[in-house]
Amino acid sequence: MRKLGLLLVTVVILVNASPAPAEEQYRRGQTVTGTWDVTFRLPAGSSICPPGPDDCFLPALATATSDGTLIQTAAVPNISEGHGVWIRTGLRTFSLRSKYFRYDAGGALIGSSVASTIVTLGADGMSGSGSYEIQPLGLDGLPLGTPFSGSAVFERMVP
């Protein structure tokens, strides 16, 4: 009988429990953890854009884990997945930093790029927007060429 009473108390507690802290933060836009569909807007003339006067759009995926790790994949030829970190910097605002390896057409490593992104999520935590800057680096790790920047839109992937 005692076990049955303990079981009933446990069920009542579980049924009446409030959302877990992480789930509540997710709903209020206070965490970037999860997987995101990202669309980056690149300036016309960027080496990634087709020739022409118009800006272009680059699809990407980003996954942010609860320990501050970030993995990104962009639809860009001759670059690796990006690995990096993220941190919350304010109310629904986050700073993301990642590094990609760059390869020539033959697959030889020619350098890397460091991407710095600031994103602000909406109050529901399901979408956001922000800005980014990408700095190309040579094999020696020194800046190579001119950095470029633009805007980004984030949409949380849900089951």
Neighbours of 29 (CB within 10 A): 21
**Domain-located, residue 21:** no
pLDDT of residue 9: 39
Closest to 134 measured CA to CA, from 155, 158, 152, 109: 152
Rounded mean pLDDT for each run of 10 residues along the chain, 159 residues in total:
45 41 60 95 81 88 97 93 97 96 95 97 95 96 90 94
Which domain, by its residues, includes 87? 32-156
**Domain-located, residue 44:** yes
Q: Are 70 and 63 in contact (CB under 8 A)?
A: yes
Q: What six digits make up the tokens of 123?
A: 């109050």
Q: Is the dihedral of CA 43, 46, 52, 53 positive or negative?
A: positive
pLDDT of residue 156: 96
**Domain-located, residue 26:** no
**Domain-located, residue 139:** yes
Ordered alpha helix ranges (H), the chain: 2-16, 21-27
Helix (H, G, I), strand (E, B), or coil: what is residue 83?
strand
CATH code for the domain of 148: 2.40.160
Count of domains forming the chain: 1
pLDDT of residue 106: 95
Helix (H, G, I), strand (E, B), or coil: what is residue 43?
coil
C-alpha gyration radius of the chain:
21
Helix (H, G, I), strand (E, B), or coil: what is residue 137?
strand
pLDDT of residue 6: 41
